[in-house]
Amino acid sequence: MTAIPATDRRAELLAIAARLFAERGLRATTVRDIADAAGILSGSLYHHFDSKESMVDEILTEFLDALFGRYQEIVAQGLGPRDTLEAVVIASFEAIDQRHDAVAIYQSEARRLAQHARFAYITERWTEFRELLQTILREGVADATFRADLDVSLAYRFLRDTVWVGVGWYRPGGTMGVDVVAQQYLSIVLDGISTRRRPVKRT
Protein backbone atom coordinates (compact mmCIF):
# COMPACT_ATOMS: atom_id res chain seq x y z
CA MET A 1 0.00 0.00 0.00
CA THR A 2 1.35 3.40 -0.97
CA ALA A 3 1.71 5.79 1.97
CA ILE A 4 -0.12 9.10 1.78
CA PRO A 5 2.41 11.98 1.60
CA ALA A 6 2.51 14.01 4.81
CA THR A 7 1.53 17.21 2.98
CA ASP A 8 -1.53 15.54 1.45
CA ARG A 9 -2.55 14.03 4.78
CA ARG A 10 -2.18 17.41 6.46
CA ALA A 11 -4.39 19.06 3.82
CA GLU A 12 -6.96 16.27 4.23
CA LEU A 13 -7.07 16.77 8.00
CA LEU A 14 -7.45 20.53 7.58
CA ALA A 15 -10.36 20.02 5.19
CA ILE A 16 -12.08 17.70 7.68
CA ALA A 17 -11.48 20.15 10.52
CA ALA A 18 -12.76 23.08 8.44
CA ARG A 19 -15.97 21.21 7.67
CA LEU A 20 -16.58 20.40 11.33
CA PHE A 21 -15.69 23.90 12.52
CA ALA A 22 -18.08 25.36 9.95
CA GLU A 23 -20.91 22.97 10.85
CA ARG A 24 -20.57 22.82 14.64
CA GLY A 25 -18.50 25.82 15.63
CA LEU A 26 -14.96 25.92 16.94
CA ARG A 27 -15.86 25.56 20.62
CA ALA A 28 -18.19 22.61 20.08
CA THR A 29 -15.69 20.67 17.94
CA THR A 30 -13.10 18.63 19.81
CA VAL A 31 -9.82 17.18 18.66
CA ARG A 32 -11.40 13.77 19.10
CA ASP A 33 -14.27 14.75 16.77
CA ILE A 34 -11.75 15.64 14.07
CA ALA A 35 -9.74 12.47 14.63
CA ASP A 36 -12.88 10.30 14.53
CA ALA A 37 -14.00 11.93 11.28
CA ALA A 38 -10.54 11.28 9.82
CA GLY A 39 -10.52 7.68 11.03
CA ILE A 40 -7.46 8.08 13.24
CA LEU A 41 -6.67 8.21 16.94
CA SER A 42 -6.60 11.59 18.64
CA GLY A 43 -2.92 11.13 19.41
CA SER A 44 -2.15 10.69 15.73
CA LEU A 45 -3.65 14.10 14.99
CA TYR A 46 -1.06 15.70 17.25
CA HIS A 47 1.67 14.49 14.89
CA HIS A 48 0.38 17.13 12.47
CA PHE A 49 -1.08 19.88 14.69
CA ASP A 50 -0.51 20.82 18.32
CA SER A 51 -4.10 22.04 18.87
CA LYS A 52 -7.36 22.79 17.12
CA GLU A 53 -6.44 26.49 17.39
CA SER A 54 -3.43 25.75 15.20
CA MET A 55 -5.74 24.16 12.69
CA VAL A 56 -8.17 27.07 12.52
CA ASP A 57 -5.21 29.46 12.38
CA GLU A 58 -3.86 27.68 9.31
CA ILE A 59 -7.30 27.49 7.68
CA LEU A 60 -7.96 31.21 8.12
CA THR A 61 -4.44 32.33 7.21
CA GLU A 62 -4.49 30.37 3.96
CA PHE A 63 -7.95 31.67 3.08
CA LEU A 64 -7.21 35.32 3.85
CA ASP A 65 -3.80 35.32 2.16
CA ALA A 66 -5.33 33.92 -1.03
CA LEU A 67 -8.31 36.30 -0.93
CA PHE A 68 -6.30 39.46 -0.35
CA GLY A 69 -3.71 38.35 -2.87
CA ARG A 70 -6.53 38.23 -5.40
CA TYR A 71 -7.73 41.68 -4.34
CA GLN A 72 -4.22 43.06 -4.88
CA GLU A 73 -4.10 41.54 -8.36
CA ILE A 74 -7.41 43.24 -9.20
CA VAL A 75 -6.33 46.66 -7.96
CA ALA A 76 -3.04 46.39 -9.86
CA GLN A 77 -4.97 46.12 -13.13
CA GLY A 78 -6.15 49.74 -12.88
CA LEU A 79 -9.63 48.94 -14.14
CA GLY A 80 -11.38 52.06 -12.87
CA PRO A 81 -13.70 52.33 -9.85
CA ARG A 82 -16.78 50.47 -11.10
CA ASP A 83 -14.92 47.63 -12.80
CA THR A 84 -12.61 47.29 -9.80
CA LEU A 85 -15.55 47.16 -7.40
CA GLU A 86 -17.28 44.56 -9.56
CA ALA A 87 -14.14 42.42 -9.71
CA VAL A 88 -13.65 42.62 -5.93
CA VAL A 89 -17.25 41.59 -5.32
CA ILE A 90 -16.98 38.71 -7.79
CA ALA A 91 -13.75 37.54 -6.15
CA SER A 92 -15.50 37.62 -2.78
CA PHE A 93 -18.39 35.49 -4.01
CA GLU A 94 -15.92 33.11 -5.63
CA ALA A 95 -14.24 32.73 -2.25
CA ILE A 96 -17.60 31.80 -0.72
CA ASP A 97 -18.00 29.18 -3.43
CA GLN A 98 -14.47 27.77 -3.41
CA ARG A 99 -13.65 28.12 0.30
CA HIS A 100 -17.09 27.85 1.80
CA ASP A 101 -16.04 26.26 5.09
CA ALA A 102 -13.26 28.79 5.69
CA VAL A 103 -15.62 31.70 5.02
CA ALA A 104 -18.23 30.22 7.36
CA ILE A 105 -15.62 29.90 10.10
CA TYR A 106 -14.43 33.44 9.48
CA GLN A 107 -17.95 34.81 9.69
CA SER A 108 -18.86 33.01 12.89
CA GLU A 109 -15.55 32.99 14.77
CA ALA A 110 -13.44 35.95 13.62
CA ARG A 111 -14.70 38.51 16.11
CA ARG A 112 -13.95 36.25 19.08
CA LEU A 113 -10.64 35.00 17.71
CA ALA A 114 -9.44 38.53 16.95
CA GLN A 115 -9.31 39.20 20.70
CA HIS A 116 -6.31 36.87 20.97
CA ALA A 117 -2.78 37.92 19.97
CA ARG A 118 -2.32 34.86 17.79
CA PHE A 119 -5.13 36.05 15.52
CA ALA A 120 -4.21 39.74 15.43
CA TYR A 121 -3.98 39.47 11.65
CA ILE A 122 -7.79 39.27 11.50
CA THR A 123 -8.12 42.86 12.69
CA GLU A 124 -5.43 43.89 10.22
CA ARG A 125 -7.40 42.29 7.40
CA TRP A 126 -10.58 44.08 8.50
CA THR A 127 -8.71 47.37 8.24
CA GLU A 128 -7.24 46.43 4.87
CA PHE A 129 -10.64 45.50 3.46
CA ARG A 130 -12.21 48.72 4.73
CA GLU A 131 -9.47 50.81 3.16
CA LEU A 132 -9.73 48.87 -0.09
CA LEU A 133 -13.47 49.38 -0.51
CA GLN A 134 -13.56 52.95 0.74
CA THR A 135 -10.74 53.92 -1.62
CA ILE A 136 -12.62 52.43 -4.57
CA LEU A 137 -15.81 54.22 -3.54
CA ARG A 138 -14.08 57.58 -3.02
CA GLU A 139 -12.37 57.33 -6.40
CA GLY A 140 -15.71 56.53 -7.97
CA VAL A 141 -17.31 59.58 -6.40
CA ALA A 142 -14.38 61.76 -7.46
CA ASP A 143 -14.62 60.77 -11.14
CA ALA A 144 -18.45 60.75 -11.16
CA THR A 145 -18.69 56.98 -11.60
CA PHE A 146 -20.69 56.89 -8.39
CA ARG A 147 -23.19 59.42 -7.05
CA ALA A 148 -21.81 62.60 -5.53
CA ASP A 149 -24.05 62.19 -2.47
CA LEU A 150 -22.84 58.64 -1.74
CA ASP A 151 -22.06 58.07 1.93
CA VAL A 152 -18.81 56.13 1.52
CA SER A 153 -18.73 54.81 5.08
CA LEU A 154 -22.31 53.57 4.90
CA ALA A 155 -21.83 52.07 1.44
CA TYR A 156 -18.74 50.22 2.67
CA ARG A 157 -20.64 48.70 5.59
CA PHE A 158 -23.50 47.67 3.34
CA LEU A 159 -21.21 46.00 0.80
CA ARG A 160 -19.13 44.28 3.48
CA ASP A 161 -22.09 42.78 5.27
CA THR A 162 -24.33 41.88 2.34
CA VAL A 163 -21.63 40.04 0.41
CA TRP A 164 -20.25 37.85 3.18
CA VAL A 165 -23.61 37.01 4.74
CA GLY A 166 -24.17 34.97 1.58
CA VAL A 167 -22.16 32.11 3.09
CA GLY A 168 -25.19 31.38 5.27
CA TRP A 169 -27.49 30.54 2.36
CA TYR A 170 -25.30 29.90 -0.69
CA ARG A 171 -24.42 26.25 -1.30
CA PRO A 172 -21.61 25.31 -3.69
CA GLY A 173 -22.85 23.03 -6.45
CA GLY A 174 -26.43 24.27 -6.14
CA THR A 175 -28.80 25.14 -8.95
CA MET A 176 -27.63 28.78 -9.07
CA GLY A 177 -23.93 29.19 -9.81
CA VAL A 178 -21.80 31.72 -7.99
CA ASP A 179 -21.29 33.73 -11.18
CA VAL A 180 -25.06 34.23 -11.48
CA VAL A 181 -25.35 35.20 -7.81
CA ALA A 182 -22.51 37.71 -8.13
CA GLN A 183 -23.95 39.31 -11.26
CA GLN A 184 -27.44 39.56 -9.75
CA TYR A 185 -25.98 41.13 -6.61
CA LEU A 186 -24.00 43.67 -8.63
CA SER A 187 -27.02 44.50 -10.76
CA ILE A 188 -29.11 45.19 -7.65
CA VAL A 189 -26.42 47.22 -5.90
CA LEU A 190 -25.19 49.25 -8.85
CA ASP A 191 -28.32 49.56 -10.98
CA GLY A 192 -31.17 49.01 -8.52
CA ILE A 193 -34.35 46.98 -8.89
CA SER A 194 -36.77 49.68 -10.05
CA THR A 195 -37.28 50.62 -13.69
CA ARG A 196 -37.11 54.31 -12.76
CA ARG A 197 -35.87 56.27 -9.80
CA ARG A 198 -38.04 58.36 -7.52
CA PRO A 199 -37.41 60.13 -4.22
CA VAL A 200 -37.45 57.94 -1.12
CA LYS A 201 -40.48 58.68 1.06
CA ARG A 202 -39.52 59.79 4.53
CA THR A 203 -41.68 58.85 7.50
- Answer whether residue 101 shows pLDDT above 80: yes
pLDDT at 1: 40
Going by C-beta distance under 8 Å and a sequence separation of 6 or more, which residues neighbour residue 73? none
Q: What is the pLDDT of residues 142-198, one digit of tens each?
A: 999 999 999 999 999 999 999 999 999 999 988 889 999 999 999 999 998 888 666
Q: What is the pLDDT of residues 30-49, one digit of tens each?
A: 999 999 999 998 888 988 99
Q: How far apart are CA 92 and CA 164, in angstroms?
A: 8
Q: What is the pLDDT of residues 62-87, one digit of tens each?
A: 999 999 999 999 999 999 999 999 99
Give the CA count within 13 Å in the CB-facing half-sphere of 61.
11
- Answer whether residue 199 shows pLDDT above 80: no
Q: Which residues of 137-149 are buried (b: 16+ CB within 10 A; e: fewer)?
A: bebbbeeebbeee
pLDDT at 9: 85
